[in-house]
Chain A
Amino acid sequence: MDILSNLALGFGVAFSPENLAYCFIGVLLGTLVGVLPGVGPLVTIAMLLPITFNLPAVAAITMLAGIYYGSQYGGSTTSILVNLPGETASAVTCIDGYQMARQGRAGPALAIAAIASLFAGCVGVLLIALAGPAIAEWALQFGAAEYTALMLMALVASAVISGGDVLKGLAMVVLGLMIGIVGVDVNSGMQRYTFGVPELVDGIGFTVIAVGLFAVAEIVVNLERKDPREVYTGKITNLMPTRGDLKDSAWPIVRGTAVGSFFGVLPGTGPALSSFATYLLEKKLARDPARFGRGAIEGVAAPEAANNAAAQTNFIPMLTLGLPASATMALLLAAMTMQGIEPGPQVMLTRPELFWGLIASMWIGNLMLVILNLPLIGLWVSLLRAPYRWLFPSIIMFCCIGNFSVSNNPGDVYLCAAVGVLGYVLAKLECEPAPLILGYVLGPLLEENLRRALLLSRGDPTVFFTRPISLTFMIATLFVLAVVIAPGLRKKADNA
């Protein structure tokens, strides 16, 4: 296989004026919907799908793909500026990104997010081009037992994410887990904690939780402050990251890219989990973990790299095996089918212009996104100068629109308000929302896979230790547990 000639073919296709234009429309739309919470790539692609029937296949797929990875860029913007996660995967970016903004460093935070995304996106695309099929085959080895072990490892590692009190952190994880299992149980079809309310049958949405806990709660906390409002604007230093910032972010970006690429390939995990995982990793590796949660630039760079890398490698199972790794990918798959392209391993051979054209367009698209986003930083930051009496109602309005638009359900808006109150109470109790979100995401996945693994093994728990990948994760879990517990014990000994 001659990769160079394939890429030449791809760039030839992608650089046609028509395809360039559709790529640009895609990433522009993606950036816009990424900024709005709730209105995500899934909804946008679903709405635009019928329009694309009349477009040539390459243009259609290029544009729809652009919306998806473009939204990962936009998602970080509101997370950093106003603690409002625009996209599922950007919830983690809120933790340090928003703190950076409060310190007047919104510009560097936004810039590093864009740079990290560009790097990760390009590497992700390179992976698709070089080793797509091999990676996809490898990902198939992840069965229920492997997922269980992986989730267990992530959950144990999450003890690290909580800033201070381990007990409070654990309580938050459990609370998140309980919220996560509301709805129909995948394995048995039983409803849990739905109280006969049909709206709860499919569970409580991620947007409701993330927007409520981060954005709404933050506003309530701010309103309570008697002292003249915190003015970030006076402190705004420079818009671009300093040399030191870049140096601090370089390795986190590389590691974030690696973690994100890994999770992106696994069906059902995707960008959200990858940004959490990489955040945990950075916090553990940092010389001074206390900086995390207080505006550490690594805490923005790594998750943003991870979610963008995952957004790209998410395409691998879809393009090479015809398997959707997420709902958005399922939609893209439908778009291809309806264009008369039979998805599956043969796409690379039968429609090389589509496959390589898409790959080339992704590189171009990622570059467009940075060019599009960097000049916007000044504009975004200047929005922070708006007085709170304008800013807060606008944020709340976006929260409402976002929550409503996920399933056109007014109940979700009320629910989000309730979660906002919960977030306020948690803030008063000095409990961090991050472990709660992690529990919410991981808990149901862990439960689902654990029960499935035991169902398949007919109740034999040794299955987790006899499969090599699962065993590896189990050993790693024990290692993480030891690392987490050891310093805690030492601290106790010191205090005694």
Chain B
Amino acid sequence: MKLQVYAYILSAAALLGMVPTVAAQAPYPTRPIRFIVGFPPGGSNNIVARMISPKLSEYLGQQVVVDNRGGANTAIATEIAANATPDGYTILMNAPGHATNPSLIKKLNFDSIRDFAFITQIGQAHNLLVTHPSFPPRSVQELIAYSKQRPGQVNYGSSGIGTSVHLSAELFQYMAGVKWLHVAYKGGGPGLVALLAGEVSLYFGNLPTVINHARSGKLRAVAVTGLKRSPAAPDIPTVAESGVPGFEVATWWGLSAPAKTPPAILARLHKETVRALNDSGVRKQLQGLGGEIVASTPEQYAAYVRNEIAKWAKVIKAAGIKSQ
């Protein structure tokens, strides 16, 4: 492992030495690459970025430097990337906010589709619907029946407006035809505390953060938000198979670059990113976050983002969440 790193450094150094004599135009990359992340340090986006960047640095032979530009649910970072020179030296980490911001924020200074060249979807993770043990419904079916009899009386918690925790519940209400009361908290920690204390009755938590509470009996696991059951909890049914067909919410991470980045550079970035994602260490670390590797093609990834934007536009409108 270590030897390999040295080998790469050596070969990179050798290449560098050769560059001036061999070609006037040096092969990409010749200087460090900026990897913009739309969240401050902390949180899964930052962790995923910092998991991949050492591998990318190794494969590309140049440092890939993570640049945290938190704020406005990734909109600040995305705007910086949209306006960056499309030369392959700026890449952007996409998160679900990339697809929901067009519906949540009225005035965006960029276009989530047109201004970007999509490289690959890095991975995704699903949420787990958990309830307080004192809450009577035990299954999705019971929950729907219970909620229909008590419109607006069931409280659900979230980690904030526009987060995947919040939008999971909005999609559920939209698809199942029920009405709950939303209680927003500042972040996943306080939201989960409120559920454990019974202040709210249900919560679509990030799977690894809630699964142990369900196992220890402090919470009750009802269903996962993936289309397929989670390998981490194969005994828990999906929402889709329990009476809300087609229901799916994922937290996802993806890589993109400014729109006019040269195709050859995009191809190189795609190749090396997928190679990094196939690394067993990276795979294991992402599993630790409750996620799975996707490593899709640029076309698949672009289609995925377009699909997400359309899906959430519908849900956000139906839920009456106002755009700013």
Contact = CB atoms under 8 A, between A and B. Distances in A.
Interface in A34-74: 42-43, 45-47, 49-50, 53
Contact of A191 (B51, B185, B281, B324): B324
B155 interface: yes
A198 B71 contact: yes
B51 A46 contact: no
A38 B218 CA distance: 37
A186 B185 contact: yes
B67 to A, nearest CB: 6
Contacts of B208: 337
A77 to B, nearest CB: 23
Nearest to B161: A189
A342 B194 contact: no
A407 B41 CA distance: 9
25 contacts: A42-B42, A45-B41, A46-B42, A53-B285, A140-B197, A142-B197, A186-B160, A186-B185, A189-B321, A190-B322, A196-B107, A198-B75, A201-B76, A268-B190, A322-B212, A324-B189, A327-B187, A330-B187, A337-B288, A337-B289, A338-B288, A344-B212, A408-B67, A455-B181, A455-B183
Given A184-B161, A189-B162, A456-B183, A329 B189 contact: yes
B50 A338 contact: no
Given A140-B193, A187-B184, A198 B76 contact: yes
Contacts of B196: 140, 321, 323
A244 B194 CA distance: 46
A345 B50 CA distance: 29
B97 to A, nearest CB: 12
Contacts of A49: 47, 50
Contacts of A45: 41
Contact of B47 (A184, A323, A338, A407): A338
A406 to B, nearest CB: 8
A199 B71 contact: yes
Contact of A408 (B69, B192, B285): B69
Contacts of B54: 50
Nearest to A145: B199
B72 interface: yes
Given A184-B161, A407-B71, A143 B199 contact: yes
A352 interface: no
Report the contact-size class of chain B (Cβ under 8 Å from the partner): 35 or more
Nearest to A407: B70
B258 interface: no
Interface string B306-324: 0000000000000001101
B322 A346 contact: no
Interface of A: 42-43, 45-47, 49-50, 53, 140-144, 184, 186-191, 196, 198-199, 201-202, 267-268, 317, 321-331, 333-334, 337-340, 342-346, 406-409, 448, 452, 455-456
A186 to B, nearest CB: 5
Interface in B178-206: 181, 183-190, 192-194, 196-197, 199-200
Contacts of B281: 53
A198 B212 contact: no
Given A267-B193, A337-B288, A456-B183, A331 B71 contact: no
B4 interface: no
Given A50-B50, A202-B71, A334-B47, A42 B181 contact: no
Interface of B: 40-44, 46-47, 50-51, 54, 67-72, 75-76, 79, 104, 107, 155, 160-162, 181, 183-190, 192-194, 196-197, 199-200, 208-209, 212-213, 215-216, 218, 281, 285, 288-289, 321-322, 324
Nearest to B162: A189
The residue among B72, B75, B192 with the most chain A CB atoms within 10 A of its own CB is B72
A244 B254 CA distance: 61
A408 B80 CA distance: 12
B49 to A, nearest CB: 9
Contacts of A143: 194, 197, 199
Contacts of A331: 41-42
A327 to B, nearest CB: 5
Given A143-B194, A455-B183, A456-B199, A202 B189 contact: no
A198 B72 contact: yes
A322 B160 CA distance: 20
B42 A141 contact: no
The residue among B42, B68, B186 with the most chain A CB atoms within 10 A of its own CB is B42
A444 to B, nearest CB: 9
Nearest to B104: A189
Contacts of B104: 189
Given A46-B42, A407-B68, A346 B212 contact: yes
A196 B155 CA distance: 32
Contacts of B79: 198
Contact of A325 (B41, B68, B189): B189
A30 to B, nearest CB: 16
A67 to B, nearest CB: 13
State the 8 A-B residue pairs at the shortest beta-carbon distance, nearest first: A46-B41, A189-B161, A344-B212, A201-B72, A324-B189, A338-B288, A140-B197, A50-B50
A182 to B, nearest CB: 13
Contacts of B183: 452, 455-456
A216 to B, nearest CB: 23
